[in-house]
């Protein structure tokens, strides 16, 4: 997949079949659009492409909003490439870009810079200053500028439209199984292993503290069964998101205990996939109570069918 970042002075080398959007999560609805792009690209001798933005436009419109995303930019690149996309155009969403009218966006970006010949948009897609552009405008401008346009409907799951917002809500409620079903893969976080308070090792449960990208959405506080990957090796794990109230913790941490693992991995990268929510964050009356619960969580994790 070829990646072009902030293409101010760049032109696409090939005519494109393009879709536009944030594609946060690259969920099964997004995957169906990419499949459609690839089929049209093969049929019409075009290249499949997506135009997406960074930062998220909501951060520009509402800079004080604490918006968390399903993917970091590197995760999004990986998922788009994995789904067979040929070109990714990553545009900085700034005030100048925000002020382009819908007509200017079509002429200057889609036609002149990207050579779009076929455009696929979502059922609710709007664009341009004050969101004045929509499917009807694209249909009107298409013949004049030599591109076709089609609109795709949302993919439904359990009588709900699949959307990044639906997935964020599911994760925020601890419903990782439902989120994973909508994503089409297991939600993950990754980061460097950093030093923590090292209380876990004193009770036989040494944990790896994960430094997570600040833009990344963390699921609901509590304990989870996870897959963990360290140095390309797979381990079963149980992960905690919370403030460690039993030992008077005061800051949020993400800690994972790996079954059948005993290595020093400080400074190493670790990735975990969420598989099942175990329970809410609990404040125990002491370390003995905590150990009893950890023993039970370990039993449930070891018996889980990964």
Whole-angstrom distance, CA of residue 160 vs CA of residue 144? 37
Identify which of 83, 87, 54 has the alpha carbon closest to the alpha carbon of residue 215: 54
3-state DSSP assignment of residue 272:
strand
Task: List, in order, residues 6 or more apart from 217 with CB less than 8 Å away.
Answer: 68, 69, 70, 168, 171, 172
Instruction: Quote the CA–CA distance of 259 and 279 in Å, as a whole number.
Output: 19
**Token pair for 192:** 């460097």
* Rounded alpha-carbon distances, angstroms, from residue 113 to 9, 38, 282: 8, 21, 54
Mark the ranges of the chain whose per-residue pLDDT is less than 70.
Answer: 8-10, 198, 248
Cα–Cα–Cα angle for 96, 70, 88, nearest 5°? 55
Q: Which domains does the chain have, with CATH numbers?
A: 2-161 (3.40.50.620), 186-303 (2.40.30.30)
CA 50 centroid distance within chain: 16
Spatial contact of 195 and 266, defined as CB atoms under 8 Å apart: yes
Interior CA angle at 259 toward 256 and 264, to 5°?
Answer: 65
List b or e across 209-222, with b for residues whose CB sees 16 or more CB atoms inside 10 angstroms.
Answer: bbebeebbbebbeb
- Determine the pLDDT at residue 197: 72
The answer to whether 243 touches 252, Cβ cutoff 8 Å, is yes
Predicted pLDDT of residue 9 = 61
Per-residue model confidence (pLDDT) at position 52: 95
Using alpha carbons, select from 76, 68, 18 the residue that is nearest to residue 46.
Answer: 18
* Residue-level pLDDT at 126: 87
Kind plus residue range of the DSSP H or E element containing 34: helix 28-44
Contact of 281 with 202, CB cutoff 8 Å: no
C-alpha 70/C-alpha 23 separation (Å) is: 10
Buried/exposed 117-134: b ≥16 CB within 10 Å, e otherwise: bbbbbbeebebbeeeebb
Token pair belonging to 49: 């492409």
Predicted local distance difference test score (pLDDT) of residue 10: 62
* Per-residue pLDDT tens digits for 52-85: 998 888 877 888 888 999 999 999 999 999 999 9
Give the H/E segment covering residue 178: helix 176-183
- pLDDT value at residue 3: 93
**What token pair was written down for 171?**
């994760």
- What pTM was computed for the model? 0.92
Q: Locate 205 and state its tokens.
A: 């449960």
Retrieve residue 85's tokens.
């996309």
Q: Respond yes or no on whether the N-terminal peptide bond of residue 231 is cis (omega within 30° of 0).
A: no
β-strands 2-5, 87-92 pairing: parallel
> Which two structure tokens, joined as six digits, stand for 156?
């439904």
């Amino acid at each position: 997949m070829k990646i072009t970042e902030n293409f101010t002075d760049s032109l696409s080398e090939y005519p494109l079949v393009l879709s536009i959007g944030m594609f946060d999560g690259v969920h099964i609805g997004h995957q169906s659009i990419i499949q459609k792009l690839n089929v049209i690209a093969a049929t019409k001798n075009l290249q499949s492409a997506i135009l997406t933005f960074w930062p998220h436009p909501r951060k520009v419109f509402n800079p004080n909003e604490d918006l968390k995303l399903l993917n970091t930019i590197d995760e999004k690149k990986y998922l788009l490439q994995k789904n067979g996309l040929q070109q990714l155009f990553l545009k900085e969403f700034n005030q100048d870009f925000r002020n382009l009218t819908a007509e200017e966006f079509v002429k200057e970006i889609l036609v002149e810079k990207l050579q779009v010949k076929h455009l696929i948009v979502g059922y609710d897609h709007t664009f341009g200053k004050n969101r004045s552009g929509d499917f009807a405008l694209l249909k009107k401008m298409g013949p004049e500028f030599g591109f076709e346009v089609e609109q795709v409907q949302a993919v439904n799951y359990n009588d709900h439209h699949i959307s990044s917002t639906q997935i964020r809500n599911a994760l925020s409620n601890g419903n990782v199984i439902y989120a994973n079903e909508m994503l089409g893969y297991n939600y993950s976080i990754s980061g460097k292993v950093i030093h923590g308070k090292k209380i876990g090792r004193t009770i036989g449960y040494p944990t790896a503290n994960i430094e997570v990208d600040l833009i990344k959405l963390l699921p609901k506080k509590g304990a989870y069964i996870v897959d963990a990957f360290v140095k390309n090796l797979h381990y079963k794990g149980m992960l905690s998101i919370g403030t460690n109230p039993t030992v008077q913790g005061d800051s949020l941490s993400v800690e994972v205990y790996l079954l059948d693992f005993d290595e020093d991995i400080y400074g190493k990268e670790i990735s975990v996939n969420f598989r099942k929510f175990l329970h809410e964050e609990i404040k125990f009356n002491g370390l003995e109570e905590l150990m009893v619960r950890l023993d039970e969580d370990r039993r449930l994790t070891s018996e889980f069918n990964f």
